[in-house]
Structure 1
Amino acid sequence: MTCGGNKFSVIDLSGPRASVVSLVRSAALDLGFFQVKFASTEKASALAAAKEFFSLPQKAKEGARLVPGWNGELMRGYASLGSEAADVANHSLAGGEEVLPDLMESYQVADPEYMDDGQFPTEGMKRAMPGLFDEMKGLGLEILSLLDEGLPKSGEGKFVDNHKGRSRTIVRCTKYPALEDCGGLVSAERLKSGKGVSRISAHRDLGTLTLLMQDQQGGLEVQDPETGEWFPVPPVEGAVVVNVGNLMTRWTNGVYKSSIHRVVANPGGGHLTEDRWSVIMFISPDDDFTVSPLECCAGEGEVRVAVNVGKYMNCKMRQLFDPEAREDKGKCKYDN
C-alpha cells in the first residue's frame, strides 16, 4: 500500500498487515529508508513552542545547555549552532578528512517518564513536548513490530519488548538557520558557487530507528552504497521519514540496512534566506539491554558482535559532543 513513484514512496500503515510488513521489510533490506503516512496531532504545538525557544537571546538559550549523556545521563537540552559534528561518531566513515560542524541548533527532550519538568526551558515546551514524545514513540513501536514480523523468523527479535524502559530515545527539534545567518561557518565563496552546502555531514544514525518530520524545504539525501549516488528524500505533507539505525543493523546481523545520509542546502532552494525546521525522534533500545545478532539472521549479512546499549551510547555521545574526542574520529571500542 504505497503512493507516489519515487524511491521513498509513502507506506500506508492502515493497509492489510501482510502487505505493510512486506513493504517495510523490502525498504529495510534495501537502503533502510522509507516514509509512512502519519497525521500528527502534536507536531504543530510542539514546533511552535520550539520556535519560541529558539527566538530567545543566545544567553537565555545557553542557560538550558545540552547534557550530552556520555556518562550515562539521558541527553537533553540545547546544542548551539556548529556544536555537533555527526560524522565523527561513524567508524566506517572515518578517514582523516576534515570534520565539518553541523549548521543547525537543536533542543533535545529525553523520555518524560524518566525526567522531571526541569528539562523544559519554557512553559510552552512543558505543555507540548511530552505529548509529541508519546505520539512519536507510539509510531516507532508500531514500526519496530512490523520490522520484527518481517524477519526471516517472524517475531524472533522481540524488538518492542526491549524498547520499553529507560533509554537514550530522544525527540529533537532542529532549526537550520538561513545560510545568510550562519556567520563564519559558511564562506561567502561557497554560497556564491551555488553548490550544495553541508548542513549535516554524511553519517549513519546510531540507534535502532529514526523518525523524521521535515518541512517542505528539503535537503535530506541518502547514498546508495554500491554506486555512491545520492537520492533526495522529498518532503511529503502528512508523512514521516523512517530510517534504520546502526543498532538495528547490528541486531539483525546486517540484514536491515543503516545507510549513509546527509542534509545539504543550495542557495537557490530557499536555504539562503529561510530557516529550515525538523522534528526528529532517535529511538534506542533500553540502556540495560545487550544487542546480540539474532540467530535467524546468521549468515545473512556481516558478522556483528554483541554490545551493551548503555555503554555503546556513552561512547558514541562522547564522540559526537566532546571536542577532544574528535581527534580519535569514529574510533569506539564498540565498533567492529
Structure 2
Amino acid sequence: MAYHPSHVGESPIQTVDISPFLTEAGDSFDDLGLVRAGQALVRALHTLGFVKISGHGIEKHEIETALAWSKKLFDLSYEDKMKAPHPAGNMPHRGYSGIGREKVYSSADVEANTAADNIAQELRKISDFKESYEIGSEDDPVQQNIWLPDDVLPDFRRRMTDLYKRLYGVSELLLRAIGVGLGLNDEERTALDRLISDRHCQLRLLHYPTVSKSKLQNDLIARLPPHTDWGTFTILFQDGGGGLELKSPRSQEFLHAEPEDETFVLNIGDMLQRFTNDYFISALHRVSVPKVDKVPETGIPARYSIPFFTCPDFTHVVETLPRFITTETPSKYEPVRFDEYGSLVSKYQYGRDNL
C-alpha cells in the first residue's frame, strides 16, 4: 500500500503514451501518431515540468527484476557494500554511499545559509536518511565505475551495465519525442541531441530504510529534500510504496506521483530548462518525512527507487536554442559548460569527513 508522508495536492499527474516512437515510421513530421504523441508530451512537460510515461517498451518484469537486484545490494552487510565506496568528494560520482553520506539540497537552501561560517555544515544539520549506489557507462572517460567484487554479489555488474544501456535507449526515445513535439528543424534537433551522451548519464539505485517513530521523535532527518536535477531530464521507477512528490510550478502544491504498473516518472532537469529558456521548468521534487503525529507506531516503511539521470558530455557547452529567445522572452541564461555547472551546484553534496 502506498504511504503518503505529507498532505499534498491530490491532482493527478498526467500520463502520456509514447508507444508510436517505438517503431520507425518514416519522417517524424509526416506521421500523425508521432506528432500527436510528441505534442502531448511537450504540453505536459511545459505545464508541470514532469509527467508519467507509458508505452516506453520496458516490461513490468524488467523493473521488478531491477528493483529486486537493488534490494539484494542493499541487503548486503555494510562491510561488503563498502568494498565499492564512493570516494571522498564529489568526483567520481560512483559506487556506494552509506546512510547520511550524501546531502541533497536546492539553490534556495544554499542562499538561506550564505551567512553561515560553514555552509556545508549547516546543510547537514538535517541528515538524508538513505543509501545509494551510483553507476555510469563502462566507456565514461571521466568517471570510472566502482564495482563490488564479483564474489560479493555475482552477476551484479552485468545486470547493471545492461540496465544502464536499456535506460539510455529509452532516454533517446524520449528526446526524439520532445524534438518532434517542439517541431524542431534538423539543426535544432542536432542541438537537442547533444543534451544527452551515452557516456555521461548516471544510473542510481536508492534505498530509504525503514524509519522508526522513535527516530523521527529524536533525530533531525530527511529522506530526500526538495531539489531539482542538474542534468537534462530524469526517468524514475519506484516500488509500490511510492513516496515521490513533485511541485507544480502553477499551483505550488506538491503532487503525489502514485506508482502505476508499466509507467515511470519523467522530470525536466536544469539543462533542458536552460536550453528552452524556461519553456520547460526544472521540476522541484522530494521524498519527504511526515510529522511524527502522522506516523503509525510501525514507523515509515522502506522504499526503493531507480532514477536514471540523462546528461550531455561533460565538456559540452549548453546554450539556449535561439527559437526560445524573443522580444517577449529575452534570454535568461548564459552558455554554461556542463561539468562546471555540475561542480558548482553539487559543491556541498558530499562531506569529506562524513564517510
Structure 2 counterpart of 1:63: 83
Match of 1:316 among 345, 349, 352: 345
- Select the residue among 201, 220, 225 that pairs with 1:201: 225
For residue 276 of structure 1, report the CA deviation from its aligned partner: 0.6
CA distance in 2, matches of 1:249, 1:152: 17
Residue 111 of structure 1 aligns to a residue in which SS? Answer: coil
Kindly provide the amino acid, as one letter, of the partner of residue 110 in structure 2: A
Larger of the two Rg values belongs to structure:
2
Deviation at 1:57, TM superposition (A): 1.6
126-135 or 91-100, which deviates more: 91-100
For 1:70 and 1:259, locate their aligned partners in 2 and report how far apart those are by CA, in whole Å: 23
1:198–1:265: 8 Å Cα contact kept in structure 2?
yes
Between the aligned partners of 1:270 and 1:150, the Cα distance in structure 2 is 48
Deviations 1:8-36 (A, max 9, x none): 22211114211111111112211210011
Residue type at the aligned position of 1:179? V
Where does structure 2 lack aligned partners over 5 or more consecutive residues?
1-9, 21-32, 114-121
Alignment correspondent of 1:253: 277
- Note if 1:101 corresponds to 2:127: yes
Aligned in 2, Cα 1:264/1:91: closer, same or farther, shift over 3 Å? closer
Q: Deviations over 1:172-192 (max 9, x none)?
A: 1111101129x85x33589xx
Residue of 17, 23, 31 corresponding to 1:12: 17
Q: How does 1:225-236 map to 2 (within 5 A)?
A: 225-236=249-260
C-alpha displacement at 1:111, in angstroms?
A: 1.0
Work out the CA distance in 2 between the residues paired with 1:244 and 1:201: 17
- Work out whether residues 166 and 287 of structure 1, in 8 Å CA contact, stay in contact via their aligned partners in 2: no
| Equivalences for residues 39-54 of structure 1 within 5 A | 39-40=58-59, 42-54=62-74
Per the TM alignment, residue 62 of structure 1 is displaced from its structure 2 partner at its CA by 1.9
**Counterpart residue number, 1:331:** none
Partner of 1:119: 147
Instruction: Tell me the residue number matched to 1:170.
Output: 202
Aligned to 2:118: none
Q: Which moved more, 1:151-160 or 1:278-287?
A: 151-160
Q: Which residue of 1 aligns with 2:318?
A: 291
Does the aligned pair in 2 maintain the 1:78–1:107 contact within 8 Å? yes
Q: Structure 2 length normalisation: TM-score?
A: 0.77
**Which of residues 152, 156, 160 is equivalent to 2:193?**
160
Please say if residues 153 and 296 of structure 1, whose CA atoms lie closer than 8 Å, have aligned partners that are also in contact.
no
CA contact under 8 A between 2:246 and 2:255: conserved in structure 1? yes
Distance 2:298 2:287 in 1: 11
Contact 2:228 2:283 in 1 (8 A): yes
Kept in 1, the 8 Å contact 2:89–2:351? The answer is no
Report if aligned partners of 1:217, 1:271 keep a CA contact under 8 Å in 2: no
Would the alpha carbon gap of residues 154 and 26 (structure 1) be closer, same or farther in structure 2, given more than 3 Å must change?
farther
**Unpaired segments of 5 or more residues in structure 1?**
191-196, 325-336
Q: Secondary structure of 1:94's partner? A: helix
State the secondary structure of the residue aligned to 1:305.
Answer: coil
Do 2:94 and 2:145's aligned partners in 1 also have CA atoms closer than 8 Å?
A: no
C-alpha spacing 1:68/1:14, structure 2 compared with 1 (3 Å): farther
Counterpart of 1:149 in structure 2: which amino acid?
A: V
Q: Quick check: 1:187 aligned with 2:213? A: no
CA apart distance, 1:139: 0.9
Alpha carbons 2:208, 2:304 under 8 Å: kept: yes
Are 1:70 and 1:313, in contact at CA under 8 Å, matched by a contact in 2?
no
Q: 1:154 to 1:103 in 2, by over 3 A?
A: farther
Please tell me whether the aligned partners of residues 195 and 271 of structure 2 are also in contact (alpha carbons under 8 angstroms): no
SS state at 1:150 partner: helix
User: Which AA in structure 1 matches 2:265?
Assistant: V
Q: Distance in 2 between matches of 1:189 and 1:309?
A: 36
Q: Does 1:281 align with 2:308?
A: yes
AA partner of residue 305 (structure 1): E
> Which residue number in structure 2 is paired with residue 80 of structure 1?
98
The change in CA–CA distance for 1:173 and 1:292 in structure 2 (over 3 A counts) is same
On the 8 A contact 1:106/1:173 being kept in 2, the answer is yes
Identity of aligned residues (%): 24
Q: Please tell me the residue identity of whatever aligns with 1:171.
A: L
Letter in 2 for 1:107: Y
Question: Alignment partner for residue 145 of structure 1, among 176, 185, 191?
Answer: 176
Go from structure 1 to structure 2 and tell me whether the alpha carbon gap of 1:264 and 1:302 turns closer, same or farther (over 3 Å shift): farther
- Deviation of 1:118 after TM superposition, in Å, equals 5.3
CA distance in 1, matches of 2:258, 2:277: 29
Name the structure 1 match of 2:162: 131
Give 1:106 shift. Answer: 0.7
Go from structure 1 to structure 2 and tell me whether the alpha carbon gap of 1:292 and 1:178 turns closer, same or farther (over 3 Å shift): same
Amino acid in the other structure paired with 2:14? S
- Contact 2:136–2:145 at 8 Å: present in 1 too? no
Residues 269, 130 of structure 1: alpha-carbon distance in 2 compared, 3 angstrom cutoff: farther
RMSD: 2.9
How many residues end up aligned between the 2 structures?
Answer: 307
Any idea what the Cα deviations from partners look like across 1:72-118, whole Å, max 9, x if unmatched? Answer: x4x2101111222211xx32443426633222111111112337775
- CA offset at residue 50 of structure 1? 2.3
Deviations 1:215-242 (A, max 9, x none): 1112211223344322111111111100
The 3 A distance-change label for structure 1 pair 305 and 93 is farther
